[in-house]
Amino acid sequence: MEEHEVILSVKGLYVRFGHGRNRFEAVKNASFDIYKGETFGLVGESGSGKTTIGRAIIRVYPASAGSIRFHGEEITGRLPRDKRRALTNRIQMIFQDPMASLNERAKIDYIVSEGLLGRGIPQEEIRERVSQAMRDVGLLPEFASRFPHEFSGGQRQRIGIARAMVMNPEFIIADEPISALDVSIRAQVLNLMSHLQKEHGLTYLFISHDLSVMRFICDRIAVIHKGVIVEMAETETLFAHPLHPYTRALLSAIPQPNPEAEKSKKLEIYDPSQHHYEIHVPGWNEVEEGHWLRANQEELEAALEKLGKTT
């Protein structure tokens, strides 16, 4: 990872849906930077807003407020067509369900090449790029003439990855890319993504509800609860010193490989009312280098004491 070379910067992001009394804030004041070449994890339970952030970055959902910058350039709001097209080349997304994200009526060569069509690229070059993308994900180029239903779930996700890779992106948003797959092939897909990152210099935003998976692949992790990022740190720091009670609750839910340890472990339940934020307003605090925590003054003092520090 090339430290401090920021490829994507999110500042004060809000994403709202609906109007008036029906308005719902899915993301509230989210801020983070993603460094070139790293895998940045965004973890939270279902409905926490993590996928909404990914889709706001790729411009599927409009940002209601705040800023998203890619290589220092603002990418929210109205953009000229050429800039939108350039962003499509440079930012791609891998979707959660390979069974639902592929057009069942289209052959694989069309599915993988769709993003290249209508750009004036010669057909021969498109065919070669599709073949190379298929090889990159471990599939034979001859498979391009088949339909999605002829593939297993793991192969279909490889096709989804090939569809992203054919655009030669710099930055890929991976939205729960293995959660719909059999346990036996999840590691294969994660290893493939890691290999592609090294080979092509990719940067990932990896979205998941599973911290045990994120520990395997992520350099840094941000924890999100009901649209609010509550903690962010390097992966091993987060596992060694989880400070927010929601982070600790997520960690306590990870199954233990030892049956005796699994029986004796204590599952933590997160109760947001414990904070009394309506009285004591929280802030975003750096409690140790690179380790950020959403906490009020009382919680901040307790966190620093836990780390052996003082205010």
Confidence (pLDDT) at 139: 94
Contacts of 116 (CB under 8 A, 6+ apart): 126, 129, 166, 167
| AA letter at 120 | G
Between CA 159 and CA 94 the distance in angstroms is 10
CA 233 vs CA 202, 250, 280, 291: distances in Å: 21, 15, 24, 4
**pLDDT tens string 241-289:** 999 999 999 999 887 777 776 677 788 889 998 888 888 899 999 999 9
Tell me if 176 sits within 8 A of 142, measured CB to CB. no
Tell me if 284 sits within 8 A of 294, measured CB to CB. yes
CA 28 vs CA 9, 25, 211, 212, 285: distances in Å: 16, 6, 22, 26, 17
The pLDDT tens digits along the chain (311 residues) read 445 799 999 999 999 998 888 899 999 999 999 999 999 999 999 999 999 999 999 999 999 999 999 999 999 999 999 999 999 899 999 988 777 778 889 999 999 999 999 888 999 999 999 999 999 999 999 999 999 999 988 899 999 999 999 999 999 999 999 887 888 888 999 999 999 999 999 999 999 998 988 998 999 999 999 999 999 999 999 999 999 999 999 999 887 777 776 677 788 889 998 888 888 899 999 999 999 999 999 999 999 999 887 65
CA 249 vs CA 127, 270, 276: distances in Å: 48, 6, 18
Separate counts of helices (H) and strands (E) for the chain: 11, 12
Instruction: Give the H/E segment covering residue 216.
Output: helix 211-217
Burial class (CB in 10 A: 0-12, 13-18, 19+), 41: buried
Between CA 165 and CA 167 the distance in angstroms is 5
Q: β-pairing, 291-295 with 228-234?
A: antiparallel
Compute φ and ψ for 81, nearest 5 degrees.
Answer: -60, -40
Residue linked to tokens 């940002």: 63
CA 221 from centre of chain: 10
User: Residue 44: which of 230, 190, 198 has the closest Cα?
Assistant: 230
Helices 153-165, 183-200: inter-axial angle, 10-degree rounding:
20
**pLDDT tens string 230-244:** 999 999 999 999 999
